[in-house]
Amino acid sequence: MDPFDPAIQNIAVAGWKPLLTLVIFTAVGSFFFGALFTAVKRGVKEEGWFKFTKKKDLKD
């Protein structure tokens, strides 16, 4: 299919605005991925998910 306006297609592919958008979405995505990873790690450690036991608990 032919684009409606070829100038818009050229601007969307080249330039700094797509890179800025990519940087913003990468930053926001990495924040939420880090929050998810931290929550799962904390849940495994503090809530006892997957029934891992600490060695300190066995000595007490």
DSSP 4-32: S-HHHHHHHHSSSHHHHHHHHHHHHHHHH
Residue 60 has pLDDT above 60, yes or no: no
Residue 6 has pLDDT above 70, yes or no: no
Q: Is residue 48 part of a domain?
A: yes
- Number of domains the chain contains: 1
Residues, the chain: 60
Q: Is residue 24 part of a domain?
A: yes
- Tell me whether residue 27 is exposed, middle or buried, using C-beta atoms within 10 angstroms of its C-beta: 0 to 12, 13 to 18, 19 or more: exposed
Q: Is residue 38 part of a domain?
A: yes
Provide the pLDDT for residue 39. Answer: 93
Q: Output the six-digit token pair for 51.
A: 């029934």
User: What pTM was computed for the model?
Assistant: 0.54
Q: Is residue 2 part of a domain?
A: no
Q: Is residue 42 part of a domain?
A: yes
Q: Is residue 21 part of a domain?
A: yes
Residue 27 has pLDDT above 70, yes or no: yes
